[in-house]
Amino acid sequence: MSIIAIEPHNTKFSIRNAYALALCSQLAYEKPNIIQQKMVEQGFRSEFISSGPKDTDTQLFMAHSGTAIVMAFRGTANIIDWMTDAKIGFVDEPHGKVHRGFNAALDSVWKEIIETLQHTHIYAQSLWITGHSLGGALATLAAARLSLDMHKPINGIYTFGQPRVGDRQFSREVDNELKPRFFRLVNNNDIVTRIPTRLGTYKHAGSVCFFDAAGTLHDDVSYWYAFLESIKGDFEDKLDLLPAFAENHHIARYIENIKKNSSQQ
């Protein structure tokens, strides 16, 4: 595993922080003992949190050092399971409507997250939240709760290939509070970032950072608007496209592209 080197007080977009948090998002897929071992090697102590398979099967790890705390949510092998009618509907939250399934998943581990923060966030460390795929959606919801409801300062949110999470009101309130520190990385035609559809009034929050087909990083949204327009259609059509674009969704591809852009900065 490469070195996780976070710039703890840099709240602007940082390719170094993107790389460190992408590595954490990848590590979140590993078994708890491997996560602990790898983070110790990086100078962090870590705690693994899981709701258990009988609940929502939600997992994350929280790693802490004297300067930073990282909350890294695990993604899923099959995002289609989270796009079913039973889970895709909205549920009302104080700052807007959010995806019912994602919200229930975060609820299942929220108590443990708060308890862990209470005994680790004691040295004014910078707080970083990250995740890939479903993990990115949960990272967004967690950041919203911590910032909007608990007024907890967050230094940065970096998500990779995340689906949409909430409605326009939710996205607007998240952006008002967090957009300068919230970076949503999208790899070329990673179609997971385009579901659930905007036709269902879902809307992304955060500042988009887009890798084109050559792996070059752009912060100009016009680079990905063209692809967004090219996949207009009903929800079922988009689900049918998922297997064809799966390679662009892998966290390994995000890490590869971040490394490529690191050498150019």
Q: Domain segments of the chain: what residues? A: 15-262
CA angle, 21 then 24 then 25, to 5°: 90
The domain made up of 15-262 is a member of CATH 3.40.50.1820: yes
pTM over 0.85: yes
Low-confidence winner among 71-85, 158-172, 175-189, 197-211 (lowest mean pLDDT): 71-85
- Is pLDDT above 60 for 241? no
Is the pLDDT reported for residue 242 higher than 60? no
User: How buried is 228 (Cβ within 10 angstroms: 0-12 exposed, 13-18 middle, 19+ buried)?
Assistant: middle
Give the pLDDT of residue 254: 97
Predicted pLDDT of residue 50: 95
Residues 104-114 have pLDDT tens digits of: 999 999 999 99
- Looking at per-residue pLDDT, the higher value among 241 and 221 belongs to 221
Q: What is the pLDDT of residue 206?
A: 96
> In this predicted model, which residue has the larger pLDDT, 83 or 88?
88
CA 4 to chain centre: 17
Q: How far is CA 135 from CA 28, 71, 114, 220, 247, in A?
A: 9, 10, 18, 24, 17
